[in-house]
A and B are shown apart, each in its own frame.
Chain A
Amino acid sequence: MKFSFIRLGAVLHKELREYRRSPFIVLTMAVLPLVFLIEPLITIFRIGPSVAASTADRAVSGTFLVLLIAPALLPAVIAAYSVVGEREQGTLEPLLTTPLRREELLLGKAIGVVVPAVGLAYVVFAVVQVCARLFASNTYVVSALGQGSHILAEILFAPLLAGWSIWVGIGISARASDVRVAQQLGTLSSIPPLAVVALVSFDVFTPSVTLAVVFALILLVADVILFRVVSALFDRERLITGASAQRAPSAGGQVPPAGTVRRIPRIGGSDDG
C-alpha cells in the first residue's frame, strides 16, 4: 500500500484541531513568541543614533539568534509530547489498527508542529522589521536588519531548525516512557543547531549569503537523515506493549521445553462430529 496524502492530511487536521483545544499548547504558542518579540525590540530601541555601525551590527546579530530560538524551542516541546502523549491517552493503539503508515503519521505530526511554529516565527520577525523601520533611531540597525543574508537566514533557518527539533523530539517521544522526560530531553535537543547559529551571530563566522545557504543545506540533510532515523525508531510493538518484538525469548522461566505442549481437547463442527 502506497504513501497516502489523504491519511497524512487526516493526521495533520486532527493535530491542528487538538492543538487549538489544548490550553498548554495554546499558551506556549502565545507566550513564547511574545517573550522572543520583547527582547529584540528592547535591544533595537536601546541602540542610540550615535552608536557605531559595528556595535549596531553585533546587536542585530544577537537579535537574530533570539528570533531563531522560538522556532527551535517551541516545536521541541510540542513534538516531544506527540507520540508519548497519544500513548498515555490510549489513542495510539486505535491509530495503529488502521492502514496508517508510520511515515504518514510522523510527517502529519511534524507538519502540524512546523506550520504554527514557523508561522509564528515569521510573524515575530516581520513585526521586528516593521518596528525597526518605524521607530529605531539608529540607521545602521535598520540596514543591518534588512540585510539579504539576515532575511534569507531567518526564512531558511526557521523551518529547518524547527525540523531538527521536531524529529529529535518525536524520536525521543517514540522511545520515552513518559511525557515529562520526553519534553525535557526534547528541549535540550534544540541546543546543538542553535549553538551553530550563535557562533554565526557572534561573528565567530562572518555572516554571508553563502554561509547561510551552506548551513541551511547542512540542516536540510540533517533533517532528512533524522526523519529516516526516527521512522526506523518507530517500533509499533514497543509503542503498544512497551517491549520490542526484536527481543529474543529466553529459555526457561515459564516457557515449557519443546514437546511438553498439553493435549488440547477440541470439538469440531457438526459435519465432522
Chain B
Amino acid sequence: MEADTTTAARGEPPSGKPPALVVDHLTKRFGDRTAFEDVSFSVAQGEVFGFLGPNGAGKTTTVRTLGTLIAPTSGSASVAGIPLTMDNGPEIRQHIAIMPENPGLYRRLTVTENLQLFAGLYEQRNATVRIGEALEAVNLTARARDLCGSLSKGLRQRVGLARALLNDPAVMFLDEPTSGLDPVATREVNDLIVGLRQRGVTVFLTTHRLEEAERLCDRVAFLNTTLRLVGRPDELRERLFSRSLTVETLTPLAAPDDVFNSAVGVESWRPEGASSYVLSVTDPRNVAPQVTRALVAAGADVVSISESRHSLEDVYLQLINDDPEASPR
C-alpha cells in the first residue's frame, strides 16, 4: 500500500472548504466478488465530480454505499459532513439525493403523485410549491398529470431528476443520468447539472459519456475496482500524454530531422502519414512559432500547425488499455 498520504496522493479537491465527501480506503465485497476496493478520494463542496469506469467497475455500488443503501465491507467515509454509519443513515439521507440508474417510478401514479410521495418522505411543508419548482427545473410542468407508465424513457429520467431536487440536497448522486437520452434531452440534463453547480450543490456523477464528463466535471476519477486516477481532465491529459504539435505540409519534407532539430523546444518527432508530423514539445504555444520559422526557412509549404488535443476518451482508453485487470466482467 502507498505510504504517501499527502493530499495530492489521496485525490483531494483543490478547495479550502470542508469536503462534501471523504472516502477513505473504502471496500465493498459481495461474498468473494469485489465490487470496489481500497477507494480513497474526497470531493469539495460545490464540486462536480465525475466517476468513470468500465461496466462492472463498481460505480453503482460506490453510489449505493455512499448513499447508505448498502454497508461497506471495510474503510470509512463521510457524506455531507456526516460519518457513514448505518445509524447515521436517515440523517445522511436527509441531506443527499440519489438518482439510481433506473429511475424507479410508480407507473400507475402520475408524475405529480410520484413527487408528492417523496415530498412527504422529506416532510416538506410547502410540497405543492416545491413540486412545481422541481417540475419547472426539468421542464416537465406540462406532463405533471400524466401517468408515469405512459412516459418515454427520457421523460421518466427527468421525473427521477425532479424527485432528486425535492429535498434541496447538499450532495446529489446521479448514476448515469443521461443514459439512453437523445442529444437534446442529454443537453437539458447537462444544463441542469450546470445549474446545480451554480447553486452550490455537490454533484457525484457517474457516466459513460466522456465528453459529458469533460464538459461538466471539475475533476474526474477513473475506477476499475480500484481507483486508478483522480484529477482535473486537463491534468489527466497532461499526465498521460506528452504535449505535442501536429505539423502538416503540402509535400513531404526533404530533411525533417534538420528542420525540427533546428527549432528550440522540440524533444522528438515522428511522421504521421505522408506529409504530417507529430512533434513532442515542452510548451506548444512557445514552440509553435519556432517550428513555423524553421519550416519557412527550409522552404516548406505549411498547411497547418496545431496543438494535438487529447480528449478524456483518449485518457480513458489509454488507462484501460494499460490495465491488465480491465477485462470486462
- A residues near B, CB below 8 A? 1, 4, 6-7, 9-11, 13-14, 17-18, 21-22, 89-101, 236-237, 240-241, 243, 245, 247, 249-255, 259, 261-273
Contacts and interface: CB of A to CB of B under 8 A. Distances in A.
B127 to A, nearest CB: 9
Nearest to B14: A269
Nearest to A8: B120
A97 B67 CA distance: 7
Given A17-B108, A94-B103, A266-B10, 10 more contacts: A7-B121, A13-B120, A94-B100, A97-B93, A253-B31, A264-B227, A267-B235, A268-B12, A269-B7, A270-B232
Given A22-B108, A254-B34, A261-B226, A237 B120 contact: no
B32 A255 contact: yes
Nearest to A9: B120
Given A250-B31, A267-B231, A272 B117 contact: no
Interface of B: 1-2, 6-15, 29-34, 37-38, 64, 67, 69-71, 73, 90-91, 93-94, 96-98, 100, 102-109, 113, 116-123, 160, 163, 167, 219, 226-232, 235-236, 239
21 contacts: A1-B94, A10-B116, A11-B121, A17-B113, A18-B106, A93-B100, A94-B118, A97-B67, A97-B93, A99-B93, A237-B70, A240-B69, A245-B71, A252-B32, A253-B32, A264-B226, A264-B227, A264-B228, A266-B11, A266-B227, A266-B231
B143 to A, nearest CB: 18
B120 A94 contact: no
B103 to A, nearest CB: 7
Nearest to B25: A261
Contacts of A9: 120
A26 to B, nearest CB: 11
A39 B14 CA distance: 76
A255 B34 contact: yes
Contact of B121 (A91, A99, A264, A269): A99
Nearest to A101: B90
A6 to B, nearest CB: 5
Nearest to B4: A266
A21 B108 CA distance: 6
B70 A267 contact: no
A269 B8 contact: yes
B117 A14 contact: yes
B228 A243 contact: no
Contact of A249 (B32, B97, B106): B32
A14 B113 CA distance: 8
Q: Identify the interface centre among B31, B67, B91: most chain A CB within 10 Å of its CB.
A: B31
